[in-house]
Amino acid sequence: MASVGHPRRLAAALAAAVVTALALSACASATPAESGDSGEPVTGGDLVVAVRSEPPQLNPLVDQVGGAHVLSPVVDSLVWDNGDGTYGTWLATDWEVSDDARVYTFTLRDDVTFHDGTPFDAAAVKANFDYVADPANKSTGSVAKLGPVAEVVDDYTVRVTLEQPESTFLTLIAAPYFGIVSPVQLQDDPESLASTVVGTGPFVFDEWVKGQSLSYVRNDDYDWGPEGTHEGAAYLDKITYRFLPEDQTRYNALLTGEADIVDYIAPEYAEEAKADERFESDEALLPGVGFSLHLNTRTAPFDDVRVRQALLTGIDREGIVESATFGAYPVQEYLASSTPDFKKDLENTIEFDADAAGALLDDAGWTGTDAEGYRTKDGERLTTTVPYADNDQLAQRTLEQVQIDAKQLGFELVLQPVPAADFSQRLYSGEYGIMPSFQSEATGMQLWRLYGGDNVSDGSTIGSNASFLADAELDSILAQARASADPAARADFYGQAQELLPDLAPSIPLYSRARVVAWQPTVHGVTWDHAWPQPYLLDTYKN
């Protein structure tokens, strides 16, 4: 790839001398013995986990992003995603899938109880699906867009019929943002879900100190962990998530012992943490659609595909990613390479060509230049707004460097820091020119979530298509992929979609994130939840 002499390139080169690029790999399922086990597990102890961000609210069935990284101790899912295209039992002991990938029938455990004493059964599962499907609840999850209709077959059998086929439905419902919550809470006090969650998980909600921490205590009655985990209750007495948004502060919490586990170690500290023999660590190259800049195709200037293509090809993605992530993260195409259905032999890849980008802008009529060097058309400057969460240092660093390249094209990007608690609302309101976002899920269905014309917010349900793209050819390909029960056929259709997307240019894919987690030598049994890649702590103990 060509490069230009930006000052940041020199900074990146200097940083690379200090920070060596990470050797990235997707993590396989782990057992306690594979995660630094030290003899027999020990019961007791409090675990402090330092995390990057505080959720704006806790209801997993409404905001799939906000609480997903801190809710896994308190909720269980119907199935467990093994991370290799197979699934293990959890709250469901068996399931059947129709040939058209629309009807899923689950046989449930009959020995599970919610934290409020309510029995877990088919009616409870139906209540959760009904809540998500109700437009009044404004669920942001993909499950809502599938139009699920749940039917109680008998006390411990539930049938879910989807409005449209989805061959990776099991991955979606394995994630903590579809953790099953108490039907009593859903029906009698749904507003309380914003600040507390009653689930069936190995830990019970304890306390949320806004701006500081969220804690859970052990559920002593727990005996229904996902397949592959130990029987019985969790080992730990308590888990406390501490919110430390500053990257250096979070890393220092590992060095000082203030935290037992530090999640999302920033790229500038990742190699140092991994090499430090005082700590254990693990990492996963997160699947799905990584950090991307979604271009609002509903409004000017991105309603013109030539402008979208110009920005896509006119910025040096490789140089930007190298500098912003200190060489730690890889440049990606429209799917991360660790995603099932990623097309390894892509032909239509994104190449940096500033001259071609300039020609596209000329062709689109942006031929004038104002006093500050920005392109103009009919007296109007080529400009757009880019909101980002004000506590996301990596996003800010990346966007500032994108802004430099865009300026060389004559394109003004106005960066707007937004309070993190309000950022997800901007994502769904469409109040932006470019929306930076990161979506991780172990399925090629992510392409439909972010680029499917029928996954746009429409007033009745909230969609994830941040570019508002609606292309008939792409929609047809994605529909065939989602209806394909045969993995090979599904991969072929998703491959076709990946070949088409650079021409449509609904977004600018930048990098896949490596989720680096490190912990103290006294901590053992840290495993991974693969449906929404993150540490899973049922098997974790301290000695």
**C-alpha atoms less than 13 angstroms from C-alpha of 47 in its C-beta half-sphere:** 36
β-bridge pairing 103-108 and 149-154: unpaired
Per-residue confidence at 451, pLDDT binned at 50, 70, 90? very high
From residue 240, alpha-carbon distances to 175, 195, 207, 507 in Å are 21, 16, 9, 37
* CA 20 – CA 275 distance, rounded (Å): 11
Q: Is residue 23 part of a domain?
A: no
Q: Is residue 65 part of a domain?
A: no
Per-residue confidence at 2, pLDDT binned at 50, 70, 90? very low
Q: Is residue 194 part of a domain?
A: no
Q: Is residue 128 part of a domain?
A: yes
**pLDDT one-digit tens code per residue, 312-342:** 999 999 999 999 999 989 999 999 998 889 9
- Same domain for 303 and 373: yes
* CA 359 – CA 339 distance, rounded (Å): 34
Nearby residues of 181 by Cβ (< 8 Å), 6 or more positions away:
60, 61, 75, 114, 128, 193, 197, 198, 199
Nearest-10 crossing angle of helices 393-409, 305-314: 110
Q: Is residue 334 part of a domain?
A: yes
- Same domain for 500 and 440: yes
- Same domain for 263 and 241: yes
Q: What is the pTM of this model?
A: 0.80
- Same domain for 433 and 321: yes
- Same domain for 215 and 135: no
The residue to which tokens 């099991």 are assigned: 170
* CATH classification of the domain holding 355: 3.10.105.10
- Same domain for 425 and 402: yes
The total number of structural domains in the chain stands at 3
**What angle is formed at CA 178 by the lines to CA 105 and CA 32, rounded to 5 degrees?**
95
- Same domain for 418 and 352: yes
**pLDDT one-digit tens code per residue, 186-232:** 999 999 999 999 999 999 999 999 999 999 999 999 999 999 999 99
Q: Is residue 60 part of a domain?
A: no
β-bridge pairing 412-418 and 213-218: unpaired
- Same domain for 457 and 497: yes
- Same domain for 399 and 292: yes
* CA 254 – CA 522 distance, rounded (Å): 12
* CATH classification of the domain holding 540: 3.40.190.10
Per-residue confidence at 5, pLDDT binned at 50, 70, 90? very low
Q: Is residue 191 part of a domain?
A: no
Name residue 375's beta-bridge partners: 369
Q: Is residue 95 part of a domain?
A: yes
Choose the weakest-confidence range: 33-47, 262-276, 336-350, 524-538. 33-47
- Same domain for 252 and 272: yes
Q: Domain boundary at 138, 156, 184, which?
A: 184
The residue to which tokens 């109040």 are assigned: 431
* CATH classification of the domain holding 113: 3.90.76.10
For residue 18, give the nearest of 282, 267, 313, 320 by alpha carbon. 267
Per-residue confidence at 452, pLDDT binned at 50, 70, 90? very high
DSSP reduced 3-state for 294: strand
- Same domain for 135 and 218: no
**pLDDT one-digit tens code per residue, 430-447:** 889 999 988 877 788 889
- Same domain for 245 and 122: no
Residue 447: domain span? 7-15+287-512
Q: Domain boundary at 135, 153, 184, which?
A: 184
* CA 389 – CA 366 distance, rounded (Å): 30
